[in-house]
Structure 1
Amino acid sequence: MSSPQLLSAHAGHWTGSGTGVTVIVPPPGTVGSGEVRGGAPASREFALLEPYRLVDRVDAVVLSGGSAFGLAAGDGVVGGLRALGRGFATPLGPVPIVVGMSIFDRSVAADPPSASSGALAFEAALRGVPFTTGAVGAGAGATTGKWRSRLDPGGLGIAYGSAGPASVCAVVVVNAWGDVLAPDGSPLFAGTSALPSERGAGFNTTIGVLLTDAALAKNDCFLLAQSGHTGFARALHPAHSRYDGDAVVALATGEVDGADLDLIRAAAADTMAAAIRNAVFRA
């Protein structure tokens, strides 16, 4: 299923056998922050996103399968950005700021995404290849409901919202330990009679990116990322377990001045919840 452009960002996939990579490349000057709430994250450069760190700009976000192995996909994106001259200015040239988040899928045992996989997803983003959702890119090997000893559908979803003059977009890879919930709070797949039976430790994580065209500071983006986690809690149960690496990055591209941060945060929570549900709906 194809989706519209992610505001002013570019996005692309590489899809392998039961795993993949999704790259989001925002415009130069995009401000970013993020927050991890799950107990078992696989991430790259996340410490730089903390509000009190020096760097406030993000050049790309890489979502991947393969757990810690899949973080290598970020190397291919760093190389592509370096060739374009993008990155944090240093006396020895620009250093691209590429944030990575990975889910645990079956490629951990065989052929996880690599730097070349990341480079291919980056090239797809720059070429404007139609951005699709479902079991593609980083969502190719995603499943849900593992706390019930089930492998219910997971995948990559996208949703859009608005807050006055500002727009919000959520992109999420849903590989949760728990269930995806309908708006009324009922599990979409397990049914109300199914009881949890297994921990499913080590095979889970939901990772997401929130984009807005509002002009926000880094600390504002940190608060926006927190609202993304509110969306997790609305559409996943349980969310943020010790067995998940749940994480959200928030990016502000800055085209719209004067937008209300709290309205954007409210819209972001709703938009992230919608994206999670969209990830498992199959068109």
Structure 2
Amino acid sequence: MNASTIAARLALSPGSITRVQGIEVGHHTDTRRPTGCSVVIARAGAVGGVDVRGAAPGTRETDLLHPTNLVERVHAVLLAGGSAWGLDAASGAVRWLEEQGVGLDVRYARLPLVPAAVLFDLGVGDARIRPDAASGYAACAAASSEPPAEGNVGAGAGACVGKVFGMGHAMKGGIGTASVTVEGVTVGALIACNALGDVVDPDTGAVIAGARTEGGRQLRDTRRALLRGELPKPVLAGTNTTIGVIATDAQITKAQAHRLAVVSHDGLARAINPVHTMSDGDTLFTLGTGASGRALGMMALATMAAEVTAVATLRAVLCARGITTADGLWLPAAGDL
């Protein structure tokens, strides 16, 4: 896909997750190496849900989102690079939110509830540099309701895709966003794509970014290569992962939030192949602010959630820029081939 085609495809894509009433987004990108974190804030609280499909997740505070558990509303979701170390960034988000007076009233204090998930980007640059509490704090301080930056920023800064045949054949991933509005209700997604598999256009099935051929200048098409019998390279569990947040301003219950997280993975399956592998920790959160004051049937909401997830995943690679690390690893972007 050349640069002009990418520009045309991006121009057709819908808006951002911040079109959802009550949602703000902030990024922090560490300039010392490609890594960072992103936060989705709901200051007034939002009904939360989560669904973990990958076999190697790195998460925090996911159990409280189960429909049968006590807490109904959370105040932010934190997405970060840095593998399990990156979960520390959520502590910084909690501190910032507490300073703003945001959180659950527990009588003695206001306790911000911030579920989090991380992706593995330690193979891109100096692995000793990863998001920490200061990074999470900075992401919150930068948050706004403006359309967030996409590509090589925040949790997508060190993301890459197409690693089935080794990092030497991978391409640059990133973070993307999209939204759709129906009957006055908006559903939006923010997706950090660090998939083991390829990213494909959900409308055409064409491979957009992923594993490259031996020459490095063409796409291999991982699905077809595996079906031809080409052998994948050994991959450490958890060294990949696509994570994200799907938000809506519809009025929903906690059980409905959970169901939206479940069906949002359909969007990942339309845009990533293979997906939900033993080496991915694919995790999607949902937030329902209810700020539109409207309800919408679950059939429509589920369709919207899967759609924006697929489009945001595609945008994550379309907006990415190619990089070469200090140790010579070349990760081209979709427009570079």
> How does the TM-score come out when normalised to structure 2?
0.79
- List gaps (5 residues or longer) in structure 1: none
CA distance in 2, matches of 1:27, 1:265: 24
Match of 1:143 in 2: 160
Residue 247 of structure 1 corresponds to: 283
Counterpart among 249, 269, 274 of residue 213 in structure 1: 249
SS in structure 2 of the partner of residue 210 of structure 1: strand
- Find the partner of 1:115 among 133, 136, 139: 133
Paired position in structure 2 for 1:237: 273
Between 161-170 and 61-70, the greater mean CA deviation after superposition:
161-170
CA shift for structure 1 position 129: 7.0
Q: Secondary structure at the match of 2:26?
A: strand
The answer to whether residue 264 in structure 2 is matched with residue 228 in structure 1 is yes
- Residues 132-153 of structure 1: per-residue CA shift (max 9 Å, x gap): 0001000000000011322112
Q: Counterparts of 1:19 and 1:82 in 2: how far apart (Å)?
A: 25
Question: What number of residue pairs does the alignment pair up?
Answer: 281
Instruction: Look up the SS of the partner of 1:15 in the other structure.
Output: strand
Query: 8 Å contact 2:27–2:153 — kept in the other structure?
Result: yes
The secondary structure found in structure 1 opposite 2:207 is coil
- Larger Rg computed on CA atoms: 2
1:257 is aligned to: 294
3-state SS, counterpart of residue 209 of structure 1: strand
* Residue identity in the other structure for 2:57: P
Q: What's the counterpart of residue 61 of structure 1?
A: 77
Residue 29 of structure 1 corresponds to 45
Check conservation: 1:32, 1:252, Cα contact below 8 A. yes
Alignment partner for residue 184 of structure 1, among 204, 210, 232? 204
Q: Indicate the SS of the match to 2:108.
A: coil
Tell me the distance in 2 between the aligned counterparts of 1:145 and 1:268: 24
2:24 is the counterpart of 1:10: yes
How far did 1:166 drift? Answer: 1.3
**Separation in structure 2 between the aligned mates of residue 108 and residue 207 of structure 1, nearest angstrom:** 22
Aligned to 1:214, the other structure's residue is in SS state coil
Instruction: Give the share of equivalent positions with the same residue, in percent.
Output: 38
Superposed structure 1 runs of 4+ greater than 6 Å apart: none
Q: What is the Cα-based RMSD across aligned positions, in Å?
A: 1.9
Q: TM-score, normalised by structure 1?
A: 0.93
Tell me the residue number matched to 1:52: 68
Which of 99, 107, 110 is the equivalent residue of 1:83? 99
Gaps of 5+ in 2: 1-9, 210-218, 321-337
1:163 is aligned to 182
SS at match of 1:148: coil
The Cα shift of 1:108 comes to 7.7
Measure the CA separation in 2 of the matches of 1:262 and 1:163: 12
How big is the shift at 1:282? 3.1
Residue 199 of structure 1: how far off its partner (Å): 4.1
